[in-house]
Chains A and B, each alone.
Chain A
Amino acid sequence: MATSQGAKGEPVLVLGWQRKRCHPRRLSPKTSRLRASLLFLSPALLALAIFSVWPMIRALYLSFTEYNIIRPPRWTGLDNYRQMIADSQLHNAVVNTLVYAAVGTVGVVVMSMGLAAILNTKFPLRSLVRTAVFLPYITSLSIVAIAWSFLLNPEIGLLSHWLNEVGFGTGQGVLRSPQLAMPAVIAVGIWKNLGFYTVIYLAGLQSIPRELYEAASVDGAGPIRRFFKLTVPLLNNQTLLVAVMATITNVQVFDQVYVMTQGGPFFKTDTIVNLIYRSGFTKLDFGYASAISWLLVAILGVLAAVQMIYFRRRAVRY
């Protein structure tokens, strides 16, 4: 903290320490950079070590135990991991989570890219639309999920009522339907983050050199062709960022499932984090909950690595 609060960029503490311990002139540039780098990194790394890495390691230890919080953890070796192999609820939750992540990520990438393309053209009320689209991002998902549940209620919900009036009856209601509940929670997830990703794409669109488009126009390419042949590939960097962020968010999906469906009907929208919550906080089986958590981290690691490799080959440089 002291380092960052020096009034004119000369934090007494850091430099004083450096001067006392060594003569700057005698340091090779490489050593002084290493020293600076470590100093810059250490506060954040220390905080991460205490508040993220330590709990994570503790969770790893707990995943080899039976633990209900009150009684001390009892070592059970690989029991929890063995249980995972046979647990059909877990398999179901993994499949649901992957479906959610795949559909939700592709959906939000396509929609935010399309929306950004629209918002990048000039039209009346554009800034209003841009603000509106971004608003959901700063709302609390657990609150808007309550609102969505109410809007989607088939008997007294506003949205269902309107759809009904124009001839699209939702029948038993989307959240109670085994086929429609998952699409509904995916849609709410997309709705929440669409604005943020749209802004990322918008920024990307604004950084594409105009000459590229002019050249394409001269070649006689129409707007749609230009979009797919030129714009989409040029946005690869943004797509990587959006895809990785969306995947991480989506694989961790919890809030709207917890509020809107509680994993139902009959586990059709149950997800990994929802299962972690149930195992830990409802069943008080924190050993098992920790084991599933580590499975989740592994899944996320693999997915992120795959995406990185895919997009690294297609990185755009001007």
Chain B
Amino acid sequence: MRRSLRLLGKTGNTVLGLSCALAVLLPILWIVSAAVRPNSDITAFPPTLIPRELTFENFIEVFERLPFARLYGNTLAFAGIATAVSLTLDTLAGYALARLPFRGSNVILGMIVVLLMLPFQVTLVPLYELMQKLDLVGTLPGLILPRITSAFGIFFMRQFFLSLPADLEDAGRIDGASEWRIFRSLMLPLSRPALLTLGLFHFQAYWNDLIWPLIMSNRLENATLPAGLAMFAGQATIEYSLTMAGSLLALTPLVVVFLLVQRTFVQSIATTGGK
């Protein structure tokens, strides 16, 4: 009796889980489908998920219309460098706020929480002005600089470092290790999962970032993938098949990265969300 109940529960969960997954995946499946069919088949009635007419022309045209290799390179450079630098600065600052508090550090924390809530649209115009003054419009440093640290990242790392046991660093201090050494040799090795989580968070945000690269890049050759894909939306029409084919190409590396880090990712949140 109990066994069959449990089996029922298991089946129920499987069905529930799978239907959730399918519902959630529908738009993504549609993107895949739209990428491999001509525009006329996308708008044809009745709509279908499976293409009536299969074509790979879209991908060829995407490559013809956009310097795709260049865009990949730019996006990788932007998202990669911004993620790496931001992880470094966020970790250092988060660590200081969590483990090396001083009089006034709470005020700094408060300011960071305010910045955490700041919508990017607020600072867009002044930030562009600043980049003009620095003569960085249309350059990779101009794209990256505003992203070299993030209030969210600092906050996130602070929360993580708070959750580590206090006796760890006490042991280090008794041994006479410098603060840097305690951080580098004791704390940093423990924060791999948190770094991975934040890294994925940053990387997907920068990889998909649209508005800032769109504003910052003057030419296609210094644009990123999302900014390049925006070229397929015209004044009166959207080229659905090209947009979706391009989006699929842009999304694939992210999915691969995610699948690679997925397992560690869930574990890592267990350590950061806990406290």
Contacts and interface: CB of A to CB of B under 8 A. Distances in A.
Interface string A103-126: 000000000000100110111111
B85 interface: yes
Given A9-B185, A159-B26, A203 B226 contact: no
A55 B126 contact: yes
Given A58-B126, A276-B122, A194 B24 contact: yes
B266 A131 contact: no
A167 to B, nearest CB: 16
Contacts of B251: 138-140
Contacts of B273: 200-201, 203-204, 237-238, 241
Given A48-B115, A135-B24, A59 B17 contact: no
B102 A33 contact: yes
Given A9-B180, A135-B255, A59 B123 contact: yes
Interface residues of B, number: 102
B108 to A, nearest CB: 7
B17 A45 contact: no
A55 B123 CA distance: 5
Nearest to B103: A34
Interface in A124-145: 124-126, 128-144
A218 to B, nearest CB: 16
B119 interface: yes
A51 interface: yes
Interface stretch (A36-44, A79-87, A88-96, A169-177): A36-44
B198 to A, nearest CB: 12
B102 A34 contact: yes
A132 B21 contact: yes
Interface stretch (A148-156, A225-233, A261-269): A148-156
7 contacts: A3-B92, A45-B108, A52-B146, A55-B122, A138-B204, A143-B229, A147-B27
Interface of A: 1, 3-4, 6, 9-11, 14-15, 24, 29, 32-34, 36-38, 40-41, 43-45, 47-48, 50-56, 58-59, 62, 69, 115, 118-119, 121-126, 128-144, 146-148, 150-151, 155-159, 161, 191, 194-195, 199-204, 206-207, 237-238, 241, 248, 251-252, 254-255, 273, 276-277, 280, 286, 290, 293-294, 296-297, 300-301, 304
